[in-house]
């Protein structure tokens, strides 16, 4: 059996690479003991703000065997989204991950291909693909699988490539060879903590989600609290500040996924264009983008908050 385990592990990792994933790490599907008290404390402090869904399925978040019956392995995958070109200087900004097509669809497709490949090559393997959609603590699993360490801004960081990538998982009922975590390389650096305009990183490795610009511009449905006026540094959808200032992101290289390329008009739009954006232009530019989640009215609210 053991020889097969090594062979299957190798097979899965090389197919992941072929599908365009940056890297692939594998962990034993077990209860996340270290994460449990941390998540509980975070929720008790209401750091999830209006994101009530974070409180649901507490046990499932920590135990993959409750999500996929009989699961033995969590296969974590990273997919680069760092763009080759950025928005013009005089613009309201959106997170780089939202430049192109909605990542949920792009990754889901790749994950399904990987699962079908596993079933074709290895046989009866049951499993599920997860992209940010179910209660899976993806950063914790990626770190456990040696794909990076959790930085002080609570994002996953990798020495060779920084942090501009998506994380996704396959949870499967197949035993594989497991990877081990890597060490933390944040050292004494506090660049992300110092740079966050809303002071959302309350202490190293702890982010108060309810103070984060990404939360305000995407998750929050009602009005943005006026006390944060003037603190958004022109971010209208998401925010990349803590990643932009991170020294490890000097090593970011642009992705080669055509579906992540932005709509041709997007990068050239200036503040003036954004202020005058119509619903038609919104639909055209963000037709397949994750920005659709916030709807035209949401983006309008964010821009109004920035310009008033």
- Residues contributing to the annotated binding site for cob(II)alamin: 61, 132, 156, 167, 214, 239-240
Known binding-site positions for [4Fe-4S] cluster = 186, 189, 192, 196, 212, 239, 242, 246
Structure tokens at 95: 């997170």
SS3 state at 91: coil
Known binding-site positions for tRNA = 221
Would you name the residues annotated as active-site residues?
Answer: 132
Parallel, antiparallel or unpaired: strands 93-94 and 235-237: parallel
Cα separation, 293 vs 289, whole angstroms: 8
Nearest to 46 by CA among 214, 208, 217, 283: 208
End-to-end CA distance of the chain: 66
Structure tokens at 192: 């992300």
Furthest-apart CA pair in the chain: how many Å? 66
> Quick one: how far is CA 305 from the chain centroid?
25
Known binding-site positions = 61, 132, 156, 167, 186, 189, 192, 196, 212, 214, 221, 239-240, 242, 246
Spell out where the chain has E strands.
23-28, 73-80, 93-94, 127-130, 149-150, 156-157, 165-172, 201-203, 206-207, 235-237
> What residues contact residue 141 under an 8 Å CB cut-off, 6+ apart?
27, 32, 74, 76, 167, 169
């Amino acid at each position: 059996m053991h020889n097969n385990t090594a062979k299957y592990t190798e097979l899965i990792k090389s197919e992941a690479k072929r599908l365009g994933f940056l890297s692939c790490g594998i962990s034993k599907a077990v209860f996340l003991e270290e994460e449990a008290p941390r998540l509980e404390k975070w929720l008790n402090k209401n750091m999830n703000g209006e994101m009530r869904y974070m409180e649901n399925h507490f046990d499932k978040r920590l135990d993959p065997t409750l999500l996929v019956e009989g699961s033995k392995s969590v296969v974590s995958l990273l997919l680069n989204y760092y763009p080759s070109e950025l928005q013009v200087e005089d613009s309201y900004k959106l997170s780089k991950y939202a430049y192109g097509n909605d990542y949920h669809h792009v990754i889901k497709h790749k994950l399904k291909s990987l699962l079908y490949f596993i079933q074709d090559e290895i046989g009866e393997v049951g499993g599920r693909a997860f992209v940010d959609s179910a209660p899976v603590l993806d950063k914790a699993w990626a770190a456990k699988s040696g794909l990076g360490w959790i930085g002080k801004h609570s994002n996953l960081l990798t020495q060779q490539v920084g942090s501009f990538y998506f994380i996704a998982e396959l949870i499967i009922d197949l035993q594989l060879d497991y990877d081990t975590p890597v060490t933390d390389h944040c050292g004494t650096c506090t660049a992300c903590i110092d740079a966050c305009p809303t002071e959302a990183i309350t202490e190293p490795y702890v982010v108060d989600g309810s103070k984060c610009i990404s939360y305000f511009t995407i998750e929050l449905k009602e009005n943005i609290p006026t006390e944060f006026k003037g603190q958004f540094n022109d971010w209208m959808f998401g925010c990349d500040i803590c990643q932009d200032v991170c020294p490890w992101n000097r090593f970011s290289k642009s992705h080669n996924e055509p579906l992540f390329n932005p709509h041709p008009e997007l990068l050239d739009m200036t503040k003036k264009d954004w202020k005058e954006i119509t619903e038609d232009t919104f639909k055209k530019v963000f037709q397949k983008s994750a920005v659709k989640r916030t709807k035209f009215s949401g983006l309008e609210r964010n821009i109004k908050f920035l310009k008033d």
